[in-house]
Homo-oligomer: A and B are copies of this chain.
């Protein structure tokens, strides 16, 4: 690689027949996100099947337009993995066998205690002039090569291999390039997109940024892209958003809600337990996605059946019978049960109708009660109605529950002394 170069245009080429069938491509978002953070915008992304001629043609066209091309996928050990060969042919480079890569592959298989098929030898071939990019998660290493002032980076397709590799190597690969912009993310939770849009409509034009609003069940993000490094303007915007959205504003470049909760629990030395019915372990899964969550997470009681709500969480039979499982009373009993049986300080409970069937006119599909359990036997429950699919209802329930707990934790000092 040269010491400095100008990336005036970047493109991404994703290789994989599955991406042109039923596999969702998240690589592109990982790549554009990481490039964005370094001030590089991706102008076009192209996806092709595992077909050598198609890979060569698409890569040739992208390179004619761009100075940086990131190619992903097609580095596996099987016959339909053709990226290596295609790029070698396009660049007129030789593929050479690397003893050191082969040794690493052998060591990886040995550690897993499985026999190494001959086919994997393919993964030890690299372009003669390439810089090898280490893959600590999978077997296929990445490669970077420069030709005619253009940089081609080849990376494996699996997102959990690609992400750490890009994070490690991007700073080196893009060292000294001219930055095209800077990106700031402002996070808001618990409000609707149209409500947020209405509130900021008059404010945004006063600021010299490109704005985008992105809404997902977990978060609304206002993205501001600027050509300059204008910290003062950003601070002003930050202040404005805090004023407008108060407790629902998460700040600049906020962590995810589960990470936020984990951090605040650890900081305040509190333990969390969950009681999940309709969310079926989803909330627990998101909390335990975070490394180190064991420090503040006791566990979750996924009491999907009523028999477990009674048996494990001690929800009285009479309460279930009188109010039904989807009710304020059951949500409160579940939240209390989670604290008591889970030896925790705080809890969230979820009970609702995720559908597609099971709804009634009184409690239609999408009705969800969320309970929050707090120390000193305090707590509360709130009813929500979430429209949409089963997936969407479960997702919104989980994030709404996280947001309620988050708001309660923000006022933790007012609860009085911790008893435990």
Contact = CB atoms under 8 A, between A and B. Distances in A.
Given A22-B29, A392-B160, A299 B292 contact: no
Given A291-B390, A300-B302, A303-B299, A78 B25 contact: no
Interface stretch (A46-54, A83-91, A235-243): A46-54
B297 A305 contact: yes
B36 A44 contact: no
**Interface SS of chain A: helix, strand, loop or mixed?**
mixed
Contact of A160 (B77, B293, B388): B388
Nearest to A390: B291
Contact of A302 (B274, B389, B392): B274
B304 A77 contact: no
B281 A300 contact: yes
A308 interface: yes
A112 interface: yes
A76 B299 contact: no
A213 to B, nearest CB: 5
Contact of A284 (B292, B302, B307): B302
Nearest to A10: B20
Contact of A114 (B192, B293, B299): B192
A307 B198 CA distance: 48
A288 B311 contact: no
B36 A21 contact: yes
Contacts of A26: 24
B47 A212 contact: no
Contact of A33 (B22, B288, B341, B394): B22
Nearest to A304: B299
A23 interface: yes
Question: Quick one: which of A212, A293, A299, A389 has the most chain B CB within 10 A?
Answer: A299
Contact of A223 (B21, B118, B137, B161): B21
Nearest to A287: B280
Interface string A239-261: 00000000000000000000000
Contact of A193 (B77, B183, B279, B312): B77
Contacts of A25: 24-25, 28
A111 B385 contact: yes
Given A43-B48, A48-B44, A391 B160 contact: yes
Contacts of A51: 43
Contacts of A341: 311-312
26 contacts: A17-B212, A19-B28, A20-B42, A22-B32, A24-B26, A25-B25, A43-B48, A44-B48, A45-B46, A76-B193, A117-B194, A117-B198, A119-B194, A119-B197, A119-B201, A160-B389, A160-B391, A274-B302, A280-B288, A288-B304, A294-B304, A294-B305, A297-B305, A298-B305, A299-B301, A301-B302
Q: Nearest 9 A-B pairs (CB), nearest first?
A: A280-B288, A281-B284, A281-B281, A300-B302, A117-B194, A299-B304, A281-B285, A299-B308, A17-B212
